[in-house]
Structure 1
Amino acid sequence: MAVRDLQDMKVAFFGSPAFALPVLEAIRAQFEVVLVVAQPDKPVGRGLKLTPPPIAARAAELGVPLAQPTKLRRNAGFETVLGDSGADVAVTCAYGKILPASVLDIPRYGFLNTHTSLLPAYRGAAPIQWALIGGEGVTGTTIMQTDPGMDTGPILLQEELPIAPQWTSLDLSDALAEQASRLIVTALERLGRGDLVPTPQDDAAATHAPMLVKEDGFVRWMDLAQAVVNRYRGVAAWPQTTAFLGGARLKLGGLSVEEGEGQPGEILGLDASGLLIACGNGAVRVQTVQPEARRAQPAQTWATSAGIRAGMGFDLWTPASAQAQ
């Protein structure tokens, strides 16, 4: 593709969640998006109303052709739709499905994927969350060639992003969405000029970021205080930080590291600034508590109403204890 053809580049966009919206808009501002592919509509809320994912809703607003296949493998109908779109290249951003070779081979310039980590680190569905849980100080965005594996394709572009100490997964997601929006446009422009050079990943250096489960939000009071706070930052969007006291499930908010010593899970003190709770090393301050089926409230307010006092202890939960139950 020559430079003079850049304005004519046709792009198919594969994505689903709100995170992918700014990436789609950035591509639309520079190139023609001829097809949007998103996950099928899903039941949402208490009424289980069938609701389109944000990318599908935006495509409908824009009048861009939309496909929402339930499967990609052995789906000749979808392959025809993608081929007939005339897309020169396809971009995936948080689409949520692994693409088979029969789909990857359709656009003449293949697929580019935006991945929110510095590959080969944190391959998988939740790189933002696991980078925070892992205490990383730097992450970034990778633009890669999509292959049939899980984030295993050659790297085309990569850019670092420092992680602010107070950022949660919500903050980091916003920053990475902005970075990915810029970087994918650069990648498409360079694709058009023919100067993108693929670099194979070092599989031996790969780490993994599997999809979160509810238990990933459970506090491990035996951990270092910083590890407890890192986990809180990583699960802020979902499943959020959960602790147990006398078997009652509580969501905790506003966690920060503080000095303090005691038995893991022990309440060392409580005042207007919150609860001070001992960890395996150090302590954490908890600003808000949300009992089940109730709203979050200041930790001191909750403690007073629940009869909580210093010296009491939160239940100790570990993956091993859960397996033993």
Structure 2
Amino acid sequence: MRVAFFGTPSWAVPVLEALNRRHPVVLVVTQPDKPQGRGLKPTPSPVARYAEAQGLPVLKPERLKGNREFLEAFKEAAPQVAVTAAYGKVLPKEALEVPPYGFLNLHPSLLPKYRGPAPVQWALIRGERETGVSVMKTEEGLDTGPLYAVWRTEILPEEDAVALSERLRDKGIELLLEVLEGLPHLVPVPQEGEASYAPLLTKEEGRVRFGEGAEAIYNRHRGVQPWPGSFFFRGGKRVKVLRMRPEPGQGTPGVVQAVDREGVLVGTGEGLIRLLEVQPEGKRPMPAADWARGHGVGPGTRLE
């Protein structure tokens, strides 16, 4: 099928690669170049870099709604279907109506749970034991469209948002290719169940909340990778937590119970959390025990 692809980050590149191997990709639409690095040089998105390297036609519109130039180019490409994967912009009705078979969206959640831009992160933060990936027909509403395919899976105990999102994407690619093969004969089914929303993370979501239980703290840590990451404050300085694990025991929330070779044991609302590797502000990553010894952190020290 003639496919148009809408996507932006590196997570979306393997989706485009798979489509490009099996179908003629007639247009790639991605976010505009963004300033990066010390010189704030405009830098193409990962999807744009791949598409340009493959010689695929690329558009980078600032906005879609009311953008006549974009709409004419989209129509001229004459896609039979469009696929979105982490594109990052709302699709207006006039764009949704261009491909005869509409838009398919690869969404890493069991819709209608975790509609929105950060489904994997929030599933982890909220301690879900199961998640999945859905291939949805896009409507004007936010992730409200009917479903062509769904795959369910258990969330592995050590999986963070990076690993889980990549695993869901890779399975989603398989589903997407299957749906495209049979698309003219498939009828999507409406979403069923209680809907929930997964908004973009804010920096504050990464703050370690020692008043919560150790399992909840660990789940949040897994969910906020790679951004904003976990952090706490000691003496007004931010300290990133790169690795941690929950442990049994009891202590005062936020108060250090012990420092040993393995790390720093801190009380929580329920259980203990062991800090294994940290990165103080302006420093390199280091074992949590080394940081504690170098900063006068010991039993009774309060972390915020």
- TM-score w.r.t. the length of structure 2 is 0.98
SS for the counterpart of 1:77 is: helix
Task: Give 1:166's match in structure 2, choosing from 158, 161, 167.
Answer: 158
Task: Give 1:273's match in structure 2, choosing from 252, 262, 275.
Answer: 262
- Identical counterparts, % of pairs: 46
Give unpaired runs (5+ residues) of structure 1.
1-8, 316-325
- Counterpart residue number, 2:285: 296
Does 1:22 pair with 2:11?
no
Q: How far does the alpha carbon of each residue in 1:137-168 deviate from its partner, in whole angstroms, 9 at most, with x for none? A: 21111001101111111111101122110011
Does 1:314 pair with 2:303?
yes
- Counterpart residue number, 2:34: 42
- Counterpart residue number, 2:273: 284
| Structure 1, 181-190 or 221-230: larger mean CA deviation | 181-190
- Counterpart residue number, 1:246: 235
- Counterpart residue number, 1:236: 225
Taking the aligned partners of 2:300 and 2:38, their CA distance within structure 1 comes to: 40
1:169 Cα shift? 0.9
C-alpha contact (below 8 Å) 1:121/1:205 kept by paired residues: yes
Task: Give 1:114's match in structure 2, choosing from 106, 118, 122.
Answer: 106
C-alpha contact (below 8 Å) 1:33/1:64 kept by paired residues: yes
Taking the aligned partners of 1:272 and 1:169, their CA distance within structure 2 comes to: 28
SS for the counterpart of 2:201 is: coil
Task: Give 1:151's match in structure 2, choosing from 139, 143, 146.
Answer: 143
C-alpha contact (below 8 Å) 2:108/2:133 kept by paired residues: yes
Taking the aligned partners of 1:50 and 1:161, their CA distance within structure 2 comes to: 39
Does 1:223 pair with 2:215?
no
C-alpha contact (below 8 Å) 2:110/2:152 kept by paired residues: yes
1:96 Cα shift? 0.5
Q: How far does the alpha carbon of each residue in 1:190-235 deviate from its partner, in whole angstroms, 9 at most, with x for none? A: 204x1x2211123x60011000010000011110110000000001
- Counterpart residue number, 1:201: 191
- What amino acid is aligned across from residue 167 of structure 1 in structure 2? E
- What amino acid is aligned across from residue 160 of structure 1 in structure 2? R
SS for the counterpart of 1:265 is: coil
SS for the counterpart of 1:255 is: strand
- Counterpart residue number, 2:251: 262
- TM-score w.r.t. the length of structure 1 is 0.92
Taking the aligned partners of 1:301 and 1:111, their CA distance within structure 2 comes to: 52
C-alpha contact (below 8 Å) 2:243/2:278 kept by paired residues: no
Runs of 4+ that moved beyond 6 A: none
- Counterpart residue number, 1:6: none
1:170 Cα shift? 1.3
SS for the counterpart of 1:84 is: helix
Taking the aligned partners of 1:160 and 1:149, their CA distance within structure 2 comes to: 23
SS for the counterpart of 1:142 is: strand
- What amino acid is aligned across from residue 283 of structure 1 in structure 2? L
Taking the aligned partners of 2:196 and 2:259, their CA distance within structure 1 comes to: 39
1:246 Cα shift? 2.4
SS for the counterpart of 1:287 is: strand
C-alpha contact (below 8 Å) 1:219/1:242 kept by paired residues: yes
